[in-house]
Chain A
Amino acid sequence: MSENKYAVLNTRVHNVDGYAKVTGRSTYTFDVKLPNMLYGKILRSPHPHAKILKIDYSEALKLPGVLTVATGKEDTLGVRQGIWRRYKDLCDEAILTVDKVRYIGEPVAAVAAVSEEIAEKALDLINVDYEVLPFVDDPMEAIKKEAPVIHEGFERNVNVTRQIAWGDVEDEMETADYIREDWFKLGGQHHMCMETRAAVASYTPDGKLTVWTSTQSAYYHQALLAGVLGLREGNIRVIAPYVGGGFGGKFELDGAQFCASILSMKCCKPVKVVFTREEDFIASKRRTPMYYYVRTGVKKDGTFCAREAKVFTNGGAYTGMGATALYLTGFFHSFPYRWKAYRYDGYRVYTNSLPSTSMRGFGAPQAMFCSEQQIDWIASDLGLDPIEMRRKNGHYEGYEVPGQATIASCGLDQCLTKIQEWVKSKGKLPKNRSIGISAAGFMSGGIFNWFDSPYSFSSAVVTINYDGTVELHVGAQEIGQGSSTTLALICAEALGVKLEDIKVHMGDTDHSPADLGAWGSRQTLMAGNATKMAAEDAKRQLLEFANAKLGFNIIYDLDIRQGWVYNVARPERGMSYYDLCKEALRGKEGQRIIGRGFYTPRRKGMISPAYSYMVQGLDVEIDPETGHIKIHESVTAHDCGQPINTLGLIGQLEGAASMAIGFGYYEYLPVEDGKVMNPNLVDYKLIRAPEMPDCHVIEIDTYEPEGPYGAKEAGEGLTNPHAAALGNAIFHGTGLQMKEAPIRAEAIAKAWKEKQEKGTEKKKK
């Protein structure tokens, strides 16, 4: 889209929260302080699997400054909840557990005291009698016949199974000239939001509960809390102040929100619970670790015939969003290619370790690590060009993924061309440097409503004030991804006003319309559509007054752009939007013009109304003896339809890259005997500024009919390809095929050493 086509879209603007964030004025749940507020701390299970026999907190209550202690059995309804509300058997988690603990770190009791220090001291005075049970912390162990039962009613600890299939895999495999099979192991990863989980809950004698919390969806938390506390949704107010990161880990009910609420309900005072960094590591949820078996059949010219995948995921102790990850990993394992036949069988297995859930990419980084590396290996086995092989089999506009999705916009081919040009331009690389590429893509919000919400997926209200300023009320949650700025831009464009005329209101269930929230890359498309509809509704009402006032011949229509209401055929003729607002208000008896918008995807296949596409290239220096890598350059060819928020887009793509590189190389999260071995920032490695490569992005121009102004997701899809691209760089540079993510330096060094020894043996023979 040419830059002149739109007034404000895809221009470099200051983030609407910018002033607050760069001056220390943005307050987070971490900062919330209320009068008469207490501090809550949580006693956590030291055992991965145990029955709770008795909890004696009498000594804790004697400690001066301790106001109350709460346990699951005495102070909760014992409701087993989950975010898959439509499927009761998957609602398996009573957060303050009543009878059994299933992972190390699970909440067992909670204390409210006048200071954090006293609350912590009180934890030591609570005596819990456990009957320790045998535990299993790996799917391979958990699925055995003799394994301990983690949840009653789930045979072999198999929590969820999913199948995605089309065509006849066996028949199509018969037509293949070459078949390859590989086994992969994918590690977990932690969201590592800079702001840990936190909540302040305030229950008052009139039976109302207000909860400030760091959340990706104020509405989800309002509804979930109502379900577990036995309160009406309307009597619960959830306020999301500024949110210090989410990445998929903050839209399920967590220990901070639940325990703070229970404690507050018990003593009728505000209670604040903030997780320490260690607690955040061990007692929130993580990216789902997986085992992948992939068998792929192709023709000798590289045409894809069939693929089958069998996947076992480590679900941890509870279901959470893990059921969705099981589904999406299977879908994105086929993406972005045309398969004559495809079959994915996924099994999610309960284990006694921290629960697995959604994390940016939602199962696709794992799927891509396997798929995109195997494709490069197949290309190498057959002597084919890896980019041309992808191009031959790639999605295109109009393609129907059988039974799953219709692709309405697709820039994959152009992305491949751009990366191909980049690879060519690099010429011959120095020694120990090699290039790896990976294709990827992602959904723009899901079509599913397993949450069983009765509301439109996204809603928006646009209200125009006397002076032309605009109140935009949305439920879409700003968590740093820039949604408030993006929606303000869409509103400004649709209504025809300047960005600075718009105020965005969200994050308060008392004032914002319900919205499913910030996950699955849904807000730009879904909340964007709702915002556009509301703004256009308001504009239409406003233009009625303009038409009356200006009285142009009926053949002329009006529009508004940058505060100027104008005759579209003769743009110099018109009036000021700001003058019009004054007249319209008087015309409406002093009532402000209000526009409403909403969006729910219907008949859009099984996954998403729209898909982004990208191809990622990495120029990597590898020292195979130490396994140390340095990424010299990152280039991405990217199709998100119409970019809306320029600075936001760049930031989201660079951020996605840092998290994706973390999944591929840095962020090792070992869990042994159910225990997270590195729950701190010394031992859990995040990429830092000196290691981050410069990231160049080439935006490919496409138009997505389902998205506002043609826009679709950006910022999550790009978490998907880097691990595979890194693996492919290692393959092309050293010949090593790394089948475990993160690809650890030790693993590279070990594999290299084995390769050298094999080579020496061969020579000796």
Chain B
Amino acid sequence: MSVICPVCKKVKKNPVDCARHMFGTGDKPHKAWFEAQGLSFIDLLLDQATQPGNKSYELVGGYIEKAQKDIK
């Protein structure tokens, strides 16, 4: 299901792809969104880089999905 990035409004194919995008830009506004959800950008990034499997992307994807209803 396609989703919209809660920060920059880019359309992404699915929540995991959107999470990938948010980690990828890594800029201040995107990082700030992580903080606002109570997530630690650096902890999740480290997990993503060091543990096989995309657990971080999937976790963040879940938050992105939930955020869709609030995006105007």
Name A residues whose Cβ lies closer than 8 Å to a Cβ of B: 139-140, 143-145, 156, 158, 163, 169-170, 181-183, 185, 291-293, 308, 310-312, 343, 345, 347
Contact residues in A for B23 (Cβ distance below 8 Å): 310
Q: B24-55 interface mask toward A, CB cutoff 8 Å, 1 = contact, 0 = none? A: 10100000000000001011011011111010
Q: List 5 A-B contacts (CB under 8 A).
A: A140-B46, A143-B46, A183-B50, A293-B49, A310-B45
CA gap between A291 and B52 in the complex, in Å: 11
Determine if B21 and A170 form an interchain contact, defined as CB atoms under 8 angstroms apart: yes
The answer to whether B43 touches A310 (Cβ under 8 A) is: no
CB atoms of B40 and A145 under 8 A apart = yes
Q: Closest B-chain residue to A292, C-beta based?
A: B49
Chain B residue contacts of A145, Cβ below 8 A? 40, 43
Give the residue among B17, B46, B48 with the most A Cβ atoms within 10 A: B46
**How near does chain A come to B11, taking the closest CB pair, in angstroms?**
11
Inter-chain contact A170/B46, CB cutoff 8 Å: no
Instruction: State how many angstroms separate the Cβ of B2 from the closest Cβ of chain A.
Output: 13
Query: Which one, B26, B42, B49, contacts A311 given CB within 8 A?
Result: B49
How far is it, in angstroms, between the C-alpha of A139 and the C-alpha of B51 when the chains are bound? 13
A291 to B47, CA, bound (A): 10
Choice from A163, A181, A182, A312 contacting B46 with Cβ under 8 Å: A312
Q: Knowing A291-B49, A310-B48, A312-B49 touch, does A143 contact B43 (C-beta < 8 A)?
A: yes
Q: Specify which chain A residues have a CB less than 8 angstroms from the CB of B24 in the assembled complex.
A: 169-170, 308, 343
Q: Which 9 pairs of residues, A with B, have the shortest CB-CB distance?
A: A310-B49, A293-B49, A183-B52, A291-B50, A143-B46, A312-B49, A170-B21, A291-B49, A156-B42
CB distance from A640 to the nearest CB of B (A): 34
With both chains docked as a complex, state the minimum distance between the C-beta of B62 and any C-beta of chain A, in angstroms: 20
Is B51 within 8 A of A183, CB to CB?
Answer: yes
CA distance A163 to B49 in the complex (A): 15
Binding site secondary structure of chain B? helix
Q: Which residue in B12, B43, B48 is a CB contact (below 8 Å) of A293?
A: B48
Inter-chain contacts of B42 with A (CB < 8 A): 143, 156, 158, 347
A345 to B42, CA, bound (A): 12
Cβ A139 vs Cβ B46 within 8 A: yes
Q: Which residues of B are found within 8 Å of A185, using beta-carbon distances?
A: 50
Question: Bound state CA distance, A310 and B26, in angstroms?
Answer: 12
A693–chain B nearest beta-carbon distance, Å:
33
A293→B21 contact, CB < 8 A: no
| Complex contacts, B43 vs chain A, CB 8 Å | 143-145
Contact A293 B50 (CB under 8 A): yes
Contacts of B46 in A (CB 8 A): 139-140, 143, 312, 347
Residues of B at the A interface (CB closer than 8 Å) are 12, 17, 20-21, 23-24, 26, 40, 42-43, 45-46, 48-52, 54
B57 to chain A minimum Cβ distance, whole angstroms, is 10
Shortest CB-to-CB span from A272 to chain B, Å, is: 44
**How many angstroms between the C-alpha atoms of A140 and B40 in the bound complex?**
14
Cβ contacts under 8 Å, B51 to chain A:
183
Q: Which residues of B are found within 8 Å of A182, using beta-carbon distances? A: 52
Q: Which residue of A lies closest to B17 (CB)?
A: A170
A143 — which chain B residues lie within 8 A by C-beta? 42-43, 46
A182 to chain B, nearest CB (A): 8
Closest A-chain residue to B23, C-beta based? A310
Q: What is the CB-to-nearest-CB distance from B23 to chain A, in angstroms, rounded to a whole number? A: 8
Chain B nearest CB from A346 CB (Å) reads 10
Is B50 touching A140 in the complex (CB atoms < 8 A)? Answer: yes
Bound-complex Cα distance A139 to B24 (A): 20
Which A residues are CB-close (under 8 A) to B50?
139-140, 183, 185, 291, 293, 312
Residue of chain A at shortest CB distance from B21:
A170
For B54, list chain A residues within 8 Å (CB): 181
Q: A163 CB to closest chain B CB, in angstroms?
A: 8
Chain A, residue nearest B47 (CB): A140
Chain B residues with CB below 8 A from A158, complex form: 42
A-side contacts of B49, CB under 8 Å: 183, 291-293, 310-312
Query: With the chains together, A143 CA to B26 CA distance in Å?
Result: 17
Residue of B with least CB distance to A312:
B49
For B48, what are the chain A residues with a Cβ–Cβ distance below 8 Å? 293, 310
Q: How far is the CA of A158 from the CA of B41 in the complex (A)?
A: 13
Task: Report the Cα distance A312→B17, complex, angstroms.
Answer: 22
Per the bound structure, the CA–CA distance linking A156 and B46 in Å amounts to 11
- Measured CA separation A144–B26 after assembly (Å): 19
- Which of B21, B48, B49, B54 is most buried by chain A, counting CB atoms within 10 A of its CB? B49
Which residues does chain B contribute within 8 Å of A291, judged by CB atoms?
49-50
Chain B residues, CB < 8 A from A163 = 26
Chain B residues, Cβ within 8 Å of A139: 46, 50
CB distance from B22 to the nearest CB of A (A): 10
* Chain B residues with CB below 8 A from A347, complex form: 42, 45-46
Distance from A95 Cβ to chain B, minimum over Cβ atoms (Å): 30
CA distance A181 to B24 in the complex (A): 15
Query: Nearest A residue to B26 by beta-carbon distance?
Result: A345
For the A-B complex with A139-B50, A170-B20, A293-B48 known, give 17 more contacts whose Cβ atoms are closer than 8 Å.
A139-B46, A143-B46, A163-B26, A170-B12, A170-B17, A170-B24, A183-B52, A292-B49, A310-B45, A310-B48, A311-B49, A312-B50, A343-B24, A345-B45, A347-B42, A347-B45, A347-B46
Min C-beta distance of A168 to chain B, whole Å: 10
Report which residue of A139, A144, A310 has the largest number of chain B beta carbons within 10 angstroms of its beta carbon. A310
Q: In the complex the two chains form, what is the Cα distance from A169 to B25 in whole Å?
A: 10
Bound: A139/B21 CA distance, A: 24
Q: How far is the CA of A497 from the CA of B71 in the complex (A)?
A: 77
Q: Contacts of A311 on B, CB cut-off 8 Å?
A: 49
Q: How far is the CA of A311 from the CA of B50 in the complex (A)?
A: 8
- A293 to B50 CA separation, bound complex (whole angstroms): 7
Nearest residue, chain A, Cβ from B12: A170
B51 (CB) vs chain A CBs: closest residue:
A183
Q: Which residue of chain B is the closest to A181 with respect to CB atoms?
A: B54
Q: Which residues of A contact B20 (CB under 8 A)?
A: 170
Contacts of B21 in A (CB 8 A): 170
Which of A143, A185, A343: most chain B Cβ within 10 A? A143
Minimal Cβ-Cβ distance residue in B for A170: B21
- With the chains together, A291 CA to B45 CA distance in Å? 12
CA distance A183 to B46 in the complex (A): 12
* Residues of A with C-beta under 8 A to B12: 170
Report the separation of the CA atoms of residues A291 and B26 in the bound assembly, to the nearest whole angstrom.
19
Among residues of A, the one whose C-beta sits closest to the C-beta of B18 is A170
A312 neighbours in B (Cβ, 8 Å): 46, 49-50
Could you tell me the distance between the alpha carbons of A434 and B26 in the complex, rounded to whole angstroms? 42
CB distance from B36 to the nearest CB of A (A): 17
